[in-house]
Homo-oligomer: A and B are copies of this chain.
Amino acid sequence: MATTSEPDGGAAAGLSRTYRDALLNDVIPFWQNHSPDRECGGYFTCLDRAGAVFDTDKFLWLQARQVWTFAHLYNTVEPRKDWLETAQLGADFLAAHGRAENGSFYYALTREGRPLSQPWNIFTDAFAAMGFAEYGRAARDPLAVEIALRTYRLFEKRKTSPKGRFSKSVPGARPLESLALRMIHLNLLLVMGDLLEEAEARNTAIALIDDVLTRFRHPGLGILLENVPAGGGVSDTFEGRMVNPGHGLEVLWMALAAAERWGRADAIPLLVRSMLSVAEYGWDREYGGLLYRLDILGKPPMQIEWDRKMWWVFAEAILAFSMAYEHTRSPECLAWFRRFHDYTWAHFVDPQYGEWYGYLNREGRPLLDLKGNRWKGCYHVPRALLESARALDRSHEGSRRNPQAPGR
């Protein structure tokens, strides 16, 4: 029901139906039809525009994330047997082949599960922990929960030297703190905080939120930096100047969700203001859409792919602003939500073969004819569709309960 308290008369809230429909009748069926490897276990993620498999290597970020996605659907949407089976296909493959001797997860395996790329990447462990935590909940499998917890503790240990012996940096030469590590830790807590002691989860989450807002948020611009000196300020180096607007929005919605869950609702207004700053800063005034990488001092960005439009950036932006709108009911948040929605539906969604293109050029045309590869899998898009639909629903419910929406 539209109410006058919603700036657009409820039209955005109506998009929750669009998102659920896209999730359940397009995106999830696409991956269920094309991705399971029923012969060797796990998933194919290198899928062309129509869903045909063009490479069979198994990248463990994507294997673990897809476990999470299907287990999460099972846990929170509907306990469908086929979803649980799909999650199990990946969880079993990861449990059988994923771990090196030290318990860390390899970065890539062959189709059959032979190790290809060493366990050099701490994020692989993080995604594995999330996948097993969510799957353990779905399958009521204590062994999966145990893997999740053990991998979480490994993640914590690796945090101070994430790449360990694989690091190419000279230790201590240029100590910068990483936003990505904060983001993934927040993500871990949101997914598996209930498996930890409540005080541990809460204290860790609150420290991370404060860290994001006090160390990574540029006080003048309100946007987030990817790497900051331990002592504060901006490091005038390639890494220190780097701005990744989509990443900024992703960490901000995670911080918002954590703030709500662990009693730091007072931080929400600043988190939302930061989202607005990031979107304003990263928006491509020439061609529309959010740019991929920028340099905070306006120098040439390090990445030659800086002007690409990336699927995950838009998924995270839609989710960030649907949540921002839910919490503020501000027309500005709603306008940004609509802007990202409109760009995405005009450019990323493939009405002919389903799912989203992964990569567009600056002008908004697909530059790779694919729906999945070694980086794009079944994760950002379904997560954003599901959680945005929920935020829009809550927002709509809230506006009926409390038409004045004075903000919290």
A238 touches B57 (CB 8 A): yes
CB of A295, distance to nearest CB on chain B (Å):
9
B368 touches A304 (CB 8 A): yes
Chain A interface: which size bin?
35 or more
Q: Which residues of B contact A304 (CB under 8 A)?
A: 305, 308, 359, 367-368
Given contacts A165-B165, A359-B304, are A173 and B116 in contact (CB under 8 A)?
yes
Binds B, one of A14-22, A273-281, A321-329, A369-377: A369-377
Q: How many monomers of this chain does the complex have?
A: 2
Tell whether A170 is near chain B: CB-to-CB under 8 Å: yes
Tell whether A114 is near chain B: CB-to-CB under 8 Å: yes
B302 touches A374 (CB 8 A): yes
Contacting residues of chain A (35-56) with chain B, CB-CB under 8 angstroms: 48, 54-55
Q: Which residues of B contact A114 (CB under 8 A)?
A: 173
A115 touches B54 (CB 8 A): no
Tell whether A237 is near chain B: CB-to-CB under 8 Å: yes
Q: Which residues of B contact A169 (CB under 8 A)?
A: 116-118
Q: Which of A107, A168, A169 has the most CB of B within 10 A?
A: A168
8 Å CB contact of A48 from B166, B300, B308, B374 = B300
Given contacts A120-B168, A300-B368, A362-B361, are A374 and B115 in contact (CB under 8 A)?
no
Tell whether A299 is near chain B: CB-to-CB under 8 Å: yes
CB of A22, distance to nearest CB on chain B (Å):
23
Tell me the complex Cα distance, A113–B307, Å.
32
Nearest-neighbor residue (CB-CB) of A297 within chain B: B54
Tell me the complex Cα distance, A55–B165, Å.
28
Q: Can you list 25 pairs linking A and B with CB atoms under 8 Å apart?
A: A54-B299, A55-B237, A55-B238, A57-B237, A106-B170, A107-B168, A115-B170, A116-B169, A116-B170, A116-B173, A116-B174, A117-B168, A118-B168, A165-B165, A166-B166, A166-B168, A300-B368, A300-B370, A300-B373, A302-B373, A304-B305, A304-B359, A306-B367, A307-B367, A361-B362
